[in-house]
Structure 1
Amino acid sequence: MNTITLTQPDDWHVHLRDGLALERTVPDLAKQFRRAICMPNLVPPVKTVDEAIAYRNRIMQHVPEGNLFDPRMVLYFTDQTPPDEIAKIKASNCVNAIKLYPAGATTNSDNGVSDIRKVYATIEEMEKHQIPLLLHGEVTHKHVDIFDREKRFLDEVLSPLIQQFPDLKIVLEHITTSDAANFVLEQSKKVAATITPQHLLFNRNDMLVGGVKPHLYCLPILKRQTHQTTLLEVATSGNPKFFLGTDSAPHAQNAKENACGCAGCYSAPTAIELYAQAFDQVGRIERLEGFASHFGADFYGLPRNTDTITLKKEDQVIPERLDYLEDQQIIPLYAGQTIQWRKV
């Protein structure tokens, strides 16, 4: 198969940042995706519907003329998120979910939930109104090994949560392990997961063997090849529980390449081609449309897009760097390397 035409895809997990960063991130994403779930971990975080609408307005100022990009907004779950905010989400035409970061789990997550039991009253309202709960699925206890934090979250946090709220819609974001994939498969259709391009294309050997590759460092961290294999299996299986979420996250080169580098991979400019590369490597390019264009919209209860994009099997060299902010640059995922697909 040398060309493939897809229903225009959506990105169900992306970081656009704010301010000057939007000049880079919004056009990069909008040239590929019609809709995107925009993460709320700004400084300060997006905690109310009114703040989410204001953030959306800032994003829209950077959408290229004639482009129909539709940002979908998310609130940042804190210990103080009131139950009555859920009805406001239900009434909104652009806010779709709440994101729960365990406090300290990733970039700008210090205001996250300290103990999920503290917010059960708000989660009860989410279950009632069928507002999805998006989860960064890791525990943050210092004594827990970083490679085990997703598995511990499934056992200690998510399993009890589902028992307490069996009708709650849940998206386990950017899953990285066989444990998470199998967990999602075992649950009802209310539980789904997003998968990033980096977790399909790379494993921890790629990040660590022959020297540390800071631009492959993300959270949750890359895992063993066996986990990568399982993620490829479920992503390309045609199972609607798994759909596209890039977790594309811009960090300037100097913030990644230092003694305490930031976590995050920037994939937005060529994300759909990177997914095509991963699907094609396992001989399942025909399954890409469901994963990228159908299953996420169905889970969120939104109409599928009607426009299309076409990908051609043709070598493309990913740029080694991209301009970012004033005098800074971003090193994108797969920088300087050749992939076999190109959006035409």
Structure 2
Amino acid sequence: MSDTITLAAPFDAHVHLRQGNLMRLVTPHVHQGGIRMAFVMPNLVPPLTLPEHTIAYAKELQALAPSLHILPSLYLTANLTPSHIREAKQGGIVGVKSYPRGVTTNSEGGVGMEGYAVYDAVFAEMERVDMVLNLHGEVPSDIDGDGTCVLNAEERFLPHLREINRKFPKLRIVLEHCTTAAAVEAVKSLPPNVVATITPHHLHLTIDGACSTPLGFCKPLAKFPSDRAALRAAVASGSPKFFLGSDSAPHPSRSKLPALGVTLPSPCAAGIYTGANLVPLTAEIFERSGIPVDRLEGFVSTHGRQFYGFPARDGDEVVLRRVEGRTVDKAYGYKTDKGEDEWVIPFLAGEEIRWEIAA
């Protein structure tokens, strides 16, 4: 097996970069982790619901990471109009992100029980101007009603995916961070303009790992071993329908590991941070998962870039080399906006990984 891997300008199709001092910490990490283009999420406080807000945020990020190609996104809300879509397209915004209401971080303004038909005019305009619809593919829990919970919320979303594609057959759609065999099969059954992202942590975790520590807790929740096997098989197949979207989501340690008595929307913040080590970590997880490393370039670069329409540029290659004894940092320290000491704890903190970025 080769001790080096050359990759054409890796692309992360799903990354959270936050705000304030946390943003200043993690934004440079994206390039450090081997990524050369990143699709950035809009679920800030307040969310990026207007094109001018998204454009201003992208400029702020670009100043922190001048070598990173940033693809900004807009938050889907009931106030979004077709004219906003035209303005967004003209401003260089490439996608609109849909969140299920109240399911994950800063998703209170997302789609609730009213469903997706109310957005038909927006979707039609997105189809016309060729913008991407990015779907967090879950429905809100309704435990005492129809029994929807974190384990079946993704599968119960899939009829919405099929219906949106039926109504808008040319609309480019990304089912983000899919976690189930059912989602893999749904994406495979739909046309080439419907694709999915997969996270490295979902290639690694099952529900046991997701529930045994707050550091493994994310939305969507990692599922059963059979679901993980389906994700691995989809990536190993080399299908261009499946590519990297890390969902790298930094949280302060006091939100991931809250003390007793702290009240949060969930027992701990949902999110796993992989940004600072993303490409080497993905190579490591490929090897641990039995996925051929020769599938890595398609997964981390070629497939996503082809779908979004941004070919890799010469000179943006990333070279990985095999090493011994390299461990993931245990935490990244920073000062909060209030001046307090805080840390972000990365995925596989303290564990040895056998790849690093050489160039």
Q: 1:324 to 1:235 in 2, by over 3 A?
A: farther
Aligned-partner Cα distance in 2 for 1:8–1:92: 24
Report if aligned partners of 1:293, 1:305 keep a CA contact under 8 Å in 2. no
- Report how far residue 275 of structure 1 moved: 1.0
Q: Aligned match of 1:104 in 95, 102, 117?
A: 102
Aligned-partner Cα distance in 1 for 2:311–2:88: 18
Q: Aligned match of 1:308 in 309, 317, 330?
A: 317
* Residue equivalent to 1:151: 155
Deviations 1:6-38 (A, max 9, x none): 112011100000111122111101222111111
Return the TM-score normalized by structure 1.
0.95
Which AA in structure 2 matches 1:98? V
State the identity as a percent.
36
Aligned-partner Cα distance in 2 for 1:83–1:105: 26
**2:94 alignment partner, SS class:** strand
**1:147 alignment partner, SS class:** coil
* Residue equivalent to 2:292: 284
Aligned-partner Cα distance in 1 for 2:12–2:335: 23
Q: Aligned match of 1:196 in 177, 195, 199?
A: 199
Note the 1:63-102 alignment, pairs <5 A.
63=65, 67-93=66-92, 95-102=93-100
Which AA in structure 1 matches 2:206? N
Report if aligned partners of 1:312, 1:341 keep a CA contact under 8 Å in 2. yes
Aligned-partner Cα distance in 2 for 1:12–1:283: 20
Which AA in structure 2 matches 1:37? F
Which AA in structure 2 matches 1:337? E
Residue 49 in structure 1 maps to residue 63 in structure 2 = no
The Cα RMSD (Å) is 1.3
Aligned-partner Cα distance in 1 for 2:29–2:205: 22
- Report how far residue 343 of structure 1 moved: 1.4
Which AA in structure 2 matches 1:335? A
Deviations 1:127-146 (A, max 9, x none): 11221100000010322121
- Report how far residue 303 of structure 1 moved: 2.2
Return the TM-score normalized by structure 2.
0.91
* Residue equivalent to 1:337: 351
Residue 217 in structure 1 maps to residue 196 in structure 2 = no
* Residue equivalent to 1:25: 26
Deviations 1:189-213 (A, max 9, x none): 01011111100111112233xxx21
Q: Aligned match of 2:306 in 295, 298, 301?
A: 298
Which AA in structure 1 matches 2:176? E
* Residue equivalent to 1:235: 235
Aligned-partner Cα distance in 1 for 2:229–2:240: 18
Deviations 1:214-273 (A, max 9, x none): 011000001111111111111122111111111000111111112521000000011111
Deviations 1:299-321 (A, max 9, x none): 01122232211111213200111
Report if aligned partners of 1:320, 1:332 keep a CA contact under 8 Å in 2. yes
Unaligned runs of 5+ in 1: none
